[in-house]
Amino acid sequence: MGRGPSIAGRKGVEDAKRGVVFTKLIREITVAARTGGVDPVGNARLRLAIDKAHDVSMPKDTIDRALKRASGEGADATQEIRYEGYGPGGVAVMVDCMTDNPTRTVAEVRHAFVKNGGNMGTSGSVAFQFAEVGELIFELGGAATEDRIMEVALDAGAEDVATDDGYCDVVTPPTAFEAVKKALEAAGLKPLQAEVTMRPANRVAVEGDIAEQLQKMIDMLEGLDDSQAVYHNADLA
């Protein structure tokens, strides 16, 4: 019988994944601070990025260095770019990137689409199928009951609460996201995930080989150094 990976080997993989997450969050903190100011009190996007950094135990020194870069100390030319297109099965896909070399990044994104049976589109070609929303996901259990989450969330400004398979999904307008998050946390309800994201108006059912090929494309796009987030409207099992 084969022997599984060693503890050191598994740790190396986890460290590598952690490094990728840190890199993406550092870019988000830097750009959020550069576009909205380095004071998180008045910059909701920056507050959310720093909260995510704390959730993955990013050292304070690392966060501070990202803020210093945004304020001009070692500032770079990083810019935000959204790429759009269609994947296998006609699935709409958007890729948010942060890059200091758009020529390189668009080539890498296009390669991921084409290699997996998709094609790049023009700006706005699929974005109309998505809406920006705040989303908080809770695991039900203990004090985190559906009724309690719904009561607190709706009172704080959420627009929808849905449960499925032991989890509760709270959806908010982007402007109400922070208030709803604070109200839920003040009630002792800590989300497993909390973010402002792009949600599709409708989902496309895919299965079999198409679903497998689409997943490969999504994984490839998410693995790009300059990729920050990948959104799609597929209904994947």
CATH class of 7-70: mainly alpha
Q: What pLDDT digit, counting tens, does each position of 106-162 carry?
A: 999 999 999 999 999 999 999 999 999 999 999 999 989 999 999 999 999 999 999
Measured between alpha carbons, how far is residue 32 from residues 46, 71, 181 in Å? 5, 11, 19
Band (pLDDT 50/70/90 cuts) for residue 2 is: very low
Q: Give the whole-angstrom CA distance, residue 212 versus residue 214.
A: 5
pTM for the model: 0.78
Residue 138 in 3-state DSSP? strand
| Angle (nearest 5°) at CA 229 between 223 and 233 | 105
The DSSP call for residue 59 is: -
Q: Where are the domains of the chain?
A: 7-70, 78-237
Residue showing tokens 């792009």? 198
* 78-237 CATH choice from 3.30.70.980, 3.30.2090.10, 3.50.50.60, 3.20.20.60: 3.30.70.980
Q: What pLDDT digit, counting tens, does each position of 155-205 carry?
A: 999 999 999 989 999 999 999 999 999 999 999 999 999 999 999 999 999
The DSSP call for residue 78 is: -
The pair phi, psi for residue 138, each rounded to 5°, is: -120, 145
Q: What is the DSSP string of 1-39?
A: -PPPPPHHHHHHHHHHHHHHHHHHHHHHHHHHHHHH-S-
